[in-house]
Every structure is written in C-alpha cells, then in structure tokens.
Amino acid sequence: MGIHIGDTAPDFTADTSAGKISFHDWIGDDWVFFFSHPGDFTPVCTTEIGRTAQLADEFAKRHVKPLGLSTDGVEEHLSWIEDVNDTQHTTVKFPIVADSDSSIARLYEMIHANESATAAVRSVFIIDPNKKIRLTMTYPMNVGRNFDEILRVIDALQTGDANKIATPADWLPGGTVIIPPSIKDAEAKTLFPQGWTELRPYLRTTKI
C-alpha cells in the first residue's frame, strides 16, 4: 500500500545494537531520524553512521533520536561499530536495528528490487512525537546522504509546527518564511504582528 507523509509510522519490536526496543515506546515524546543502509562493513554506510554519531549534539538539541537499520544482525552491528568509531573518529551511541530477515525493511518498503533483492536502500523517515511520518527521502546505494539537509528539514518542520508557517526554497533558520494561504489576513495580523510583505495575495512573506 505504500508509506506516505501523514501516515502513522508502523510499529515494530526489534533487537538493536543497544538492546531490544518497541519502536513507538522508544520514540516517546521525541522526533526520530529513522534511516536504513545496505549493509555493515560497507564504505558509504560507514561514513553515514559516523556522521550521525558526530552530529549527536545537533540531533539532541532538536529532540531527535537517530535510529539506523540494516539487514544484518546484532553481532555484525557491534563489530562494525568498532570500525566506524575508529575510522570516523567518533563514538556511536544510537541504536542500529538488526533486521536479518528483512521484515522491518519490507514493512517500511526499504527493499527496492532493482537495487537489491535483500539489502535496504538508503531510506530516510522523519517521524514526529505523534508517531506521524513527516518526511521521506530515498537515496541510491552508492550516494551518501546530505546531513545538512536532514538537519535543515527537521528545523523547517519544527519551525512550521511552532509558528504556523511554510518555508521557501533553500530556507535556513532565521530566514524569511511564508504565511500559508489558508491563514487569512485577519488571522495573520494576530499571528504575525510584525507584519508581512505581500508579493501576491497567495505569497506573503515575513520574519519570525
């Protein structure tokens, strides 16, 4: 049926490199960066797991929990993490799901047959505290993810939720935002007392 933005993230129970988790319980009141990779002891994945660990403070200040997944087992994960820590000069503390039977990868449609019949592609799911999927991205196996973009889109989602705004192309925190057309001028005067610039009736920009 497909997993779409706005859907409730499918729940699961799994062994991970940091112990067994029940996904929805583990999320708690936080956001989640749930991402898959094709396999342990592979070069691109090693840099991605390392980069996630290096950004631990950035994820934490946004109340985001990273959760990795590959179709390998716990023992492979634990051994590989030692390589990641050594080669990427970091310490991996977040859990990596062991999905040896590919059941979770298939549940989340991370297996793309024309890439591999068994290994997960580089899927990204940003999930909010209500367990709703807010963003999906999929990268091919040979292309590493852009972590600046992952943090940027989390900032955009959280800023939008907090301020009832939308964000324009290439938005960065502190930049100009958009007042959605669904908010009429009368309501906008209350929500945005600082005022706005009207480029078109449907395109109003402001600063927050």
50: which residues sit within 8 A by CB, 6+ positions away?
84, 85, 87, 88, 89, 90, 92
Which one of the listed residues 32, 45, 119, 154 is annotated catalytic?
45
208: its two tokens: 């927050």
Angle (CA) 202-204-208 rounded to 5° is 145
Rounded to 5 degrees, φ, ψ at 104 are -75, -40
126: its two tokens: 């940003």
Given a contact cutoff of 8 angstroms between Cβ atoms, the answer to whether 124 and 109 are in contact is no
Q: Is 31 one of the annotated active-site residues of the chain?
A: no
**Residue 149: strand, helix, or coil:** helix
Give the whole-angstrom CA distance, residue 11 versus residue 2: 15
Q: Which residues are catalytic?
A: 45
